[in-house]
């Protein structure tokens, strides 16, 4: 087993659990309730606080702050956690906060994500696998981002919003309502502007599946999302259409972004 390497200028609490093969560069600060998996790399000047788990082979770049107390005035020092999965790349000045008692107590980040410089994940968020947050994108508290979601640079996601699998948010967009799986949202006050066709093709979606999604989206734009989804769910649908309909009919604290007229 390869022992961890810790630069002598870093402050690592003796109670912290440091996995084999980890590299902790200069001027990092690691708290007593932190657990680093195997071969985690903290480049330099990284702060990891609170009850925070960082999964195997994740790399954290300078000046990131992970696990510090939530930016929520309701937080009263309760014991909560931040769980970060494996093989994530967390770039400079990224901030990720743990959960709150009122939001379930845990912020979770999946595997294989890319969190670019200055991006933020707030308390109680649930972020799926292969997420990409581009520079200075911010996700507010209690949000759910399913697998393969991309949030463009300088974009913001309102608290309690759900973003379905494979959706993409354009740059400089404010997302205030739920986004269907595979949707494309863009604009200063975001609207649903079709499908994430690039993402669908990258994932091997067939022409028939894409046409089925387009037909479904056209019908959703003619009335209430939930009422139309209930009607469409009564028929035979492709797996991807069914996934979108199940998402719309699932529990939510927000409305849905409607298609652009």
Annotated catalytic, 166?
Answer: no
From 31, 141, 156, 166, active-site residue: 141
Number of neighbours of residue 195 by Cβ within 10 angstroms: 24
Tokens (6 digits) for 57: 């082979």
Number of neighbours of residue 184 by Cβ within 10 angstroms: 21
Within 37-127, strands assigned E span 41-42, 47-48, 51-54, 59-60, 65-66, 81-84, 89-90, 95-96, 106-109, 114-115, 120-121, 126-127
Annotated catalytic, 13?
Answer: no
| Longest CA span, the chain | 64
**Rounded-to-integer distance, Cα 192 and Cα 194, Å:** 6
From 21, 25, 55, 123, active-site residue: 123
From 72, 124, 148, 178, active-site residue: 124
Annotated catalytic, 123?
Answer: yes
* Residues with catalytic roles: 123-124, 141
């Amino acid at each position: 087993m390869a022992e961890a390497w810790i630069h002598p200028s870093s402050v690592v609490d003796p109670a912290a659990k440091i996995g084999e093969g980890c590299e902790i560069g200069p001027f990092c600060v690691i708290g007593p309730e932190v657990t680093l998996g195997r071969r985690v790399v903290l480049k330099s000047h990284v702060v990891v606080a609170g009850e925070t788990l960082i999964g195997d082979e994740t790399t954290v770049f300078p000046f990131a702050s992970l696990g510090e107390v939530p930016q929520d005035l309701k937080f009263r020092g309760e014991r909560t956690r931040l769980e970060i999965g494996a093989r994530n790349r967390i770039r400079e000045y990224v901030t990720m906060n743990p959960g709150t008692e009122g939001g379930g107590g845990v912020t979770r980040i999946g595997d294989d994500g890319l969190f670019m410089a200055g991006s933020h994940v707030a308390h109680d968020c649930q972020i799926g696998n292969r997420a990409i947050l581009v520079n200075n994108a911010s996700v507010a508290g209690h949000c759910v981002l399913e697998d393969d979601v991309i949030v463009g640079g300088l974009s913001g996601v309102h608290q309690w919003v759900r973003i379905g699998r494979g959706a993409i948010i354009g740059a400089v967009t404010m997302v205030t309502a739920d986004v269907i799986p595979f949707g494309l949202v863009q604009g200063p006050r975001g609207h649903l502007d079709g499908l994430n066709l690039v993402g669908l093709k990258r994932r091997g979606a067939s022409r028939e599946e894409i046409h089925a999604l387009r037909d479904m989206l056209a019908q959703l734009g003619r009335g209430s999302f939930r009422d139309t989804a209930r009607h469409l769910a009564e028929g035979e649908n492709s797996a991807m259409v069914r996934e979108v309909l199940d998402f719309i009919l699932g529990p939510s604290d927000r409305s849905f972004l409607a298609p652009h007229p």
